Amino acid sequence: LGLGVVEQLGQRGYRVVLASRDPEAGERAAARARARGRDVIAAALDVASAESIRAFSEALGPDRIDAIVSNAGVALDCFDLSVVQRTLAVNYFGATAVVRALEDRLGVGSRVVMVSSAMGALDGFDRRVRARFEAPGDFAAIEGALSEFEEAVRLGRETAEGWPRSAYRVSKIALNAWTRLYAEQMRPRDVHVNAVCPGWVRTRMGGAGASRSVREGAEGVVWAAMLPRGGPTGGFFRDGARIAW
């Protein structure tokens, strides 16, 4: 999906930084894009590593960033405390930390796109879980709820407390709550912050049986990354249409 976003933004004339945990694979992908006339550079980034995020931010330099697409995500097999911690480290803490590391370079009209999932929609959760994420007072409240989730899993009480046995789903409801708060924080700077559900896409994560092509999944992300000044902020979208949180 990330490669699809890079390709479509490159087609539209943007200079794109392709971030990858594997620098060699990232450079090969960037080279293929450049061979098609795209302005793409590769950079190393592991969102689960604070040191990697710091190095990535420094490597980008001080120039203005027109758009951040926070696309890193994992959907791991099985369900236990280790899976929960690894999933949240990437899908919530890593995805948001990258944005925080780059936010000083966002200017008027810049866009932040958090790639999320309808699997994190509020109406799919037990009311007790929904209450933790529907209107959190601050970012600490979101992270406190995630700590409660981890503790419930450690004690084997997640089902009794209303949590789903899916670290991925919890990571996305938390990411959506973070997006709403961050959009309000950035509103005075006129930075557009939105979450996008790309749908079920035929990627390594989605599998060969998924209903949507990479091109189709990337289009909604690219739409949000190119919003004009005065466009929507603080919303959840699929294919450019607002959907319920």
pLDDT value at 230 more than 90: yes
- pLDDT in the model for residue 212: 83
Give residue-wise pLDDT tens across range 85-102: 999 999 999 999 999 999
Percentage with pLDDT > 70 across the chain? 100
**Is residue 68 a contact partner of residue 98, using CB atoms and an 8 Å limit?**
yes
pTM of the full predicted structure? 0.96
pLDDT value at 79 more than 80: yes
Pairing of strands 241-242, 236-238: antiparallel
Q: What are 221's two structure tokens?
A: 């992300």
pLDDT value at 107 more than 90: yes
Give residue-wise pLDDT tens across range 110-140: 999 999 999 999 999 999 999 999 999 999 9
Give the integer Cα–Cα distance in Å for 72 and 95: 6
Give residue-wise pLDDT tens across range 50-66: 999 999 999 999 999 99
Sign of dihedral through CA atoms 231, 4, 30, 99? Answer: positive
- pLDDT in the model for residue 99: 98
Name 76's Cβ contacts closer than 8 Å, sequence gap at least 6. Answer: 83, 86, 87, 167, 168
Give residue-wise pLDDT tens across range 190-229: 999 999 999 878 887 788 888 888 899 999 999 999 999 9
- pLDDT in the model for residue 224: 98
- pLDDT in the model for residue 214: 81
- pLDDT in the model for residue 187: 97
Residues tagged active-site: 168
Section 144-160 average pLDDT: 98
Indicate the average pLDDT of the chain. Answer: 96
Q: Report the SS3 class of residue 24.
A: helix
